[in-house]
Structure 1
Amino acid sequence: MRLDKFLKVSRLIKRRTVAKDVSEQGRVWVNGREAKPSSSVKPGDELKIQFGQRAVTVRIERLAESTRKDEAGELYTVLSEESTPRDAEGW
């Protein structure tokens, strides 16, 4: 599954176009590597997403083409949430 679609379906990011923009800005990493919106993800992959001064790391548990709002949280497990300085780079 494409990274931008997973971010939207899992509701980590509200819209697919926003997920695409965030990925293109270099704010999403898959297994420690900067990821493009078209990057392929699979269960077991770790995603790190930079939201302003907050970074969230999640592990993908399963994939789904679509989910209901109450089921979206089952697609991933939050591994860590941390505050970071705005100029942090080099993850």
Structure 2
Amino acid sequence: MESTRIDSWLWAVRLTKTRPDAAQACRGGHVRINDKPAKPSATVVPGDTVRARVGDRTRVVEVVRVISKRVGAEIATMCFIDRTPKPPVEVPIARRDRGAGRPTKRERRELDRFRTQN
């Protein structure tokens, strides 16, 4: 098999839960193949770069192997190379409840430890 539909491929490699979800993502403009908007019937071939917004994450994957039937998770991960950038690290902000007063000695030491780590 040299090519397959993008909605079928997204479902087969387990990037979306169902094929209708993949088709809906394509129709909504959340899927791009080689930086071009993709309809559900667009085809993918090995070497293509697929950018898909799934849930609240944007996944960037490179197609290595084309499949159209859903397979096990181990086999599915061998069909693409994940090139998704790492999410930015969120630094927690030290906040105290209103009216809680000054930090205790223990809380102060924890804050100092946290500040020296970063």
The answer on whether the counterparts of 2:48 and 2:63 sit within 8 Å (CA) in structure 1 is yes
| Residue 38 (structure 1) aligned to one of 36, 41, 49 | 41
Correspondence for 1:11: 14
> Structure 1: which 5+ runs fail to align?
84-91
> Structure 2: which 5+ runs fail to align?
88-118
Correspondence for 2:78: 74
SS state at 2:78 partner: helix
**Largest Rg, 1 or 2:** 2
Deviation per CA, 1:5-40: give whole Å up to 9, x if none.
Answer: 000110111110000001100000000001000001
Deviation per CA, 1:36-75: give whole Å up to 9, x if none.
Answer: 0000100000000113442110000001232223211111
Identity, % of aligned positions? 29
Q: TM-score, normalised by structure 1?
A: 0.83
Correspondence for 1:87: none
Q: Distance in 2 between matches of 1:22 and 1:82?
A: 22
Correspondence for 1:21: 24
Correspondence for 1:61: 64
Q: Distance in 2 between matches of 1:46 and 1:69?
A: 20
SS state at 1:48 partner: strand
The answer on whether the counterparts of 2:7 and 2:22 sit within 8 Å (CA) in structure 1 is yes
Q: Distance in 1 between matches of 2:20 and 2:32?
A: 17
CA root-mean-square deviation = 1.4
**Size of the alignment, in residue pairs?**
83
